[in-house]
Amino acid sequence: MDRPMPPGWDHAPSATCAQVGEHALIRWITARLATAPSADLLVDVGDDAAVVVPRRNHVDVLTTDVLVDGVHFTRAFSDARDVGHRALHVNLSDVAAMGAEPRWALLSLGLPPDLEARWVAELIDGLVDAATALRVRLIGGNISRSPVLFADVTVSGAAKPRHVLRRSGARVGDELYVSGEVGAAAAGLAWLQWQATAGDAAAGSMHDDTIAAAVTRFRRPEARVALGIQVGRNKAASACMDTSDGLADALRQLATASGVGMRIEAGALPRAAGLASVAAATGADAETLAWSGGEDYELLFAVPRRSRRRFAHATTRKGLPPVTRIGVCTKDADVCIVDQEGRVQPVPGGFEHFGGRG
């Protein structure tokens, strides 16, 4: 496996966190972060706390989310840079879902003493690269000993108050749109899990580009940052949330928060290209992956009919992912799916972080 050394990392490749030590790790991280001074950053890493200047006439958007080894990732399927990238993007996705621009990140790392220190440096490397690409700065955090590896990230963003997108703003008649495609990350994970048990026999299938894309989507999700900002600025949506726990979960949560029902056209779902290939190769159920598979980090929007053209205008800018209309908000009490034959069924259950799928 290609593992370029993180810039400036000069410890023995197999040295553990305990051997390198907290202070040396923090020194390396601080050096890795060193970038141009910013007028908005009064106190950077190295003090008791970071100090930043809020953006004028904007509000602060704050969120925190954690990746725990063995729960949200395994080191068998994701390398350290993937984990760093993802730890940031799961938070960027929440900020994007509010229509806000992410600005600052804090990182709280829990590290087993016997973990390779180089692995930690690679995680930081992946996180900082992901942050730099979106002009987000890592401005603080802490390193702690822990029996299990975890990376807890907090992101702070900014939006004008009138541009903030809530979950609760959808009204009866509003149309529902989802960005990108659904089920890609779940398909990628299903393929990795199958490959791990099937061994060499599985290697051939990887030549399928759609599977490779699904695996990448799982390993390095791309939060829809620019899209969330655009839609917020154009005031083109009445509600928004991300699909981190799957589309079905997002639909139900947005419906509950807004006090509406929903009618979703099954045929309209922008299913990930890799779903069919993964289902064929592994025997996984493509529909379950599409509706209930998490980790896509797409955005779900409710759009008033009168804002349809404005929404189309905001979402067709260069570089933005496609958006697809998948249904409408109703005055019913539940979220239902209508298939191509007109049959109606309730939306499948979602993810419970303790209990598996309910």
Toward a second copy, which CB reaches closer, 1 or 39?
39
Compute the least distance from the CB of residue 166 to a second copy, in Å. Answer: 6
Helix (H) or strand (E) holding 64: strand 59-68
CB 264 within 8 A of CB 346: no
Distance of alpha carbon 278 from alpha carbon 152, whole angstroms: 31
Q: In this structure, are residues 303 and 177 in contact, taking their beta carbons and an 8 Å threshold? A: yes
- Answer for which of 3, 135, 145, 317 binds a second copy (CB under 8 A) is 145
Question: Which of the residues 69 through 98 are near a second copy (CB under 8 A)?
Answer: 70-72, 93-95, 97-98
Closest by CA position to 215, among listed 237, 242, 184, 243: 184
**For residue 6, with 0-12 CB atoms within 10 Å meaning exposed, 13-18 middle and 19 or more buried, which class applies?**
buried
What is the C-alpha separation between 294 and 310, in angstroms, rounded? 29
Which listed range, 73-81, 136-144, 174-182, 269-277, lies at the site for a second copy (CB under 8 A)? 136-144
Nearer to a second copy, 98 or 211 (CB): 98
Contact string (CB under 8 A) for a second copy, positions 97-116, x = contact = xx-x---x-xxx-xx-x---
Among 5, 31, 133, 148, binds a second copy (CB under 8 A): 148
Q: Does 12 bind a second copy (CB under 8 A)?
A: no
- Helix 225-233, helix 308-315: angle, nearest 10: 140
Q: Give the span between the Cα atoms of 141 and 105, in whole angstroms.
A: 9
Report, in Å, the least distance between residue 144 CB and a second copy: 5
List binders of a second copy among 297-356 (CB under 8 A). Answer: 352-355
Q: Which stretch binds a second copy (CB under 8 A): 17-25, 186-194, 209-217, 305-313?
A: 17-25
CB-CB contact of 291 with 246 (8 Å): yes
Element (H or E) spanning 158, and its range?
Answer: strand 150-159
Give the contact letters, 213-252, x = binds to a second copy (CB under 8 A), - = no. Answer: ---------------------------xxx----------
**Element containing residue 107 per DSSP (H, E):** strand 101-111
List the interface residues with a second copy, window 152-211 (CB under 8 A).
152, 154, 156-157, 159, 161, 164, 166-168
Closest CB to a second copy among residues 213, 335: 335
Instruction: Tell which positions 41-60 bind a second copy, by CB under 8 A.
Output: 42-43, 46-54, 58-60
Query: What strands, in cross-sheet order, belong to the sheet with 344-346?
Result: 239-242, 299-303, 175-179, 323-330, 261-265, 335-338, 344-346
Point out which span in 14-22, 182-190, 266-274, 286-294 binds a second copy (CB under 8 A).
14-22
Closer to a second copy by Cβ: residue 246 or 274: 246
Q: Which is nearer to a second copy, 95 or 213 (CB)?
A: 95
Q: Are 307 and 174 in contact (CB under 8 A)?
A: no
Q: DSSP character for 221?
A: -
